[in-house]
Structure 1
Amino acid sequence: MTDRSATGSGEIPLVPCVGGLVFDHRGRLLLIRRANEPGRGLWSVPGGRVEPGEDDHAAVVREMAEETGLSVRPGRLVGVVDRGPYRIADYLCTLDDPADEEGLRAGDDADDARFVDAAAFAALPLVPLLAETLDGWGVLPRS
């Protein structure tokens, strides 16, 4: 979707972004609490803008390392959503080394990071539409 209110070509492209969906061996989903806007103080999946010259997979790897300290291998595209000026492509990811879960730490745009089960996910203040979107894609955390 584009906004046709701009001058020139009449279209403003959406900002390309990515997110990484990482589950631990117990089925818990990795979330970060956003340190900056949009969504400051709310929980979301790790991710961010695709930098010039990057493809989506490279952006997921970079964002995951910056926000969580974890190294991942991006897999299949789970879904794409438009949120305001952002087009977010979310990818299912696996940890390069499952033992790396111990190295989880918040960084960059995140002020907390953790794996959450279904009960914790339901109790956290989430960015708008995250629960509904992940539910629709069948990728909610398990108990």
Structure 2
Amino acid sequence: MTAAEPPVVPCVGAIVLDGARRLLLVRRRNDPGRGLWSVPGGRVEPGETVAAAVEREVLEETGLRVRAGAEVGRIRIDGGTVVYDVVDLACSLLDAGARPVAGDDAAEVLFADAATLAGLTCTPRLVETLGGWGVLPG
């Protein structure tokens, strides 16, 4: 007899680079990953497209409006009782002059250059995964 597979939860992540090629990051307010830095994102609601989900999540967490673009990559994260199936999308800022403000699930928000990112405590495998996809800040 095999153990039941944990349920898969569809999620999205936003890869947002500003005009200076800095990466938009949020410090997570809630688990999983409370207190760690990651890209904005979250669960896809029933009936929602991944594009709509990522645009909603970025707005809720940072106050920024973005337009979802192409899929950058996909990763599965073991959440213990569930598996998060995360699709990361490249997103473009709709208002290049807007400043992010932490909201919803974000304790803090910032645009990070490579040096800043190197000093942050990020969610497991974030930097390695983004590096493999070629989307680290320039």
TM-score w.r.t. the length of structure 1 is 0.90
Higher helix share: 1
Look up the equivalent residue of 1:49 and give its one-letter code: R
Task: Find the aligned partners of 1:70 and 1:20 in 2 and give their Cα distance.
Answer: 11
**What is residue 102 of structure 2 aligned with on the other side?**
106
Structure 2: which 5+ residue stretches go unaligned?
Answer: none
Identity percentage of aligned residues: 57
Does 2:46 align with 1:52? yes
Does 2:115 align with 1:119? yes
Q: Pick from 117, 129, 133 the counterpart of residue 133 of structure 1.
A: 129
Secondary structure of the corresponding residue to residue 58 of structure 1 = helix
TM-score w.r.t. the length of structure 2 is 0.93
Number of equivalent positions = 133
Structure 1: which 5+ residue stretches go unaligned?
Answer: none
**What is residue 26 of structure 1 aligned with on the other side?**
20
Measured after TM superposition, the shift of residue 14 of structure 1 is: 1.2
Q: Pick from 73, 77, 81 the counterpart of residue 79 of structure 1.
A: 73
**What is residue 91 of structure 1 aligned with on the other side?**
89
Q: Pick from 15, 19, 22 the counterpart of residue 9 of structure 2.
A: 15
